[in-house]
Amino acid sequence: MPRPASASAPSQAFLLGEHSVLYGTPALAASVDVRSRAVVRPRGDGSILISSGAVDGTFRGRMAGGGVSGEGPEPLRQLAVGVWGLLRDLGVDSGYSIEISSNVPMGSGMASSASVAASISAAIYRSLDLDPSREELLDAVYGFERIIHGRASKTGPACAVLGGVIWVDWRDGEMVAERLGSPSLPLTVGCTGRRSETKKMIGLVSTLRDRFPNQVNSIMSLMGDLVRAGRDAVSIGDVSSLGAIMNMAHGLLSSLGVSTPELDRAVWAAREAGALGAKLSGGGGGGCIVALSGSRDGRVREALEEIGLRAFEAPISVDGVVAEGEVDEI
């Protein structure tokens, strides 16, 4: 008998390899302890209600064999479709009421959708008294991401599910995620407040590649080289080299057209305040930057705040998604 349950999951700071990971190169990201939380309560009538403090309105619908019907904000409708897919795969016909709260800025490039999807998935598994493997949870979250973004990386889902620093690579035509541990990286995130439209940016890069295939493929290959060098730097604790590699990566992302004057300004503000490296993080076109601070004195955060960004230190999350305690009936 399903019961109420809850779970929380961290978010992502994309260190290296965004965009290029969709073209066969590896990626490196950090799971950061800025989390979302989902509370799920079963509904015996097969209906689904989803609300979020970050979205105006509630999705109200019904799940059936062919999918989900109903009305409400599009981001919540997409989550409802993901819930329907998860329950279908589990052979469950119960409906759910789902309440989402999150400290992850939407559209920031911090993989807020993956964090929320991980929270929902883990809470539903807990509600059904199931104990999924991390790989099963990762596949479930990746299913949500493909609904939301179309073409999607496993980087955000892996950060949300596994915690620590994440390495994503390709094996037999499939993305495979690996946790590298949880090294101490002094990361600062600065959010512009302008949404990063991941799906739109992926399309922009794809169009550019269609026009200039040889040149864009060369950029992707070089980005892959930087990711591999970044992993080597992380493995030996060489934060200075990692910072320099992040700086180069930002330049390549700019050449693909996914940076903005606001992101570039934030990157330079962070570097001038002592960051060893700084770059846009995620899809681009808005969203946030991630800076590898040269110290933990707050100067990078303060510099980003001075130019109008919401900025915060982003500690590596040792834990990925966590199913929490029991939830009261209402």
Domain harbouring 50, CATH code: 3.30.230.10
**Same-domain pairing of 43 and 133:** yes
- What's the pLDDT tens digit per position in 219-272? 999 999 999 999 999 999 999 999 999 999 999 999 999 999 999 999 999 999
Within a domain: residue 330?
Answer: no
pLDDT for the residue numbered 92: 85
- What's the pLDDT tens digit per position in 14-51? 999 999 999 999 999 999 999 999 999 999 887 999 99
Within a domain: residue 328?
Answer: no
**Same-domain pairing of 173 and 149:** yes
Orientation of helix 155-162 relative to helix 134-149, angle to 10°: 140
Within a domain: residue 329?
Answer: no
pLDDT for the residue numbered 193: 87
Sign of the torsion formed by the C-alpha atoms of 198, 200, 204 and 210: positive
pLDDT for the residue numbered 190: 95
Q: Which amino acid is at 240?
A: S
Domain range holding 41? 5-181+317-323
CB–CB of 118/57 below 8 Å? no
pLDDT for the residue numbered 181: 86
CB–CB of 242/292 below 8 Å? yes
**Same-domain pairing of 160 and 209:** no
**Same-domain pairing of 159 and 205:** no
**Same-domain pairing of 207 and 133:** no
Read off the tokens for 282: 């995620």
pLDDT for the residue numbered 262: 96
CB–CB of 309/8 below 8 Å? no
Which stretches of the chain score pLDDT less than 50?
A: 330
Within a domain: residue 251?
Answer: yes
* Torsion of the alpha carbons at 85, 90, 92 and 94, rounded to the nearest 10: -60
**Same-domain pairing of 198 and 76:** no
Task: Tell me the C-alpha distance between 6 and 33, whole Å.
Answer: 17
Q: Which amino acid is at 27?
A: A
Domain harbouring 211, CATH code: 3.30.70.890
Domain count, the chain: 2
pLDDT for the residue numbered 153: 73
**Same-domain pairing of 168 and 265:** no
**Same-domain pairing of 41 and 115:** yes
pLDDT for the residue numbered 152: 67
260 contacts: CB under 8 Å, gap ≥ 6: 192, 194, 284, 285, 286
**Same-domain pairing of 177 and 197:** no
**Same-domain pairing of 166 and 193:** no
Neighbours of 296 (CB within 10 A): 11
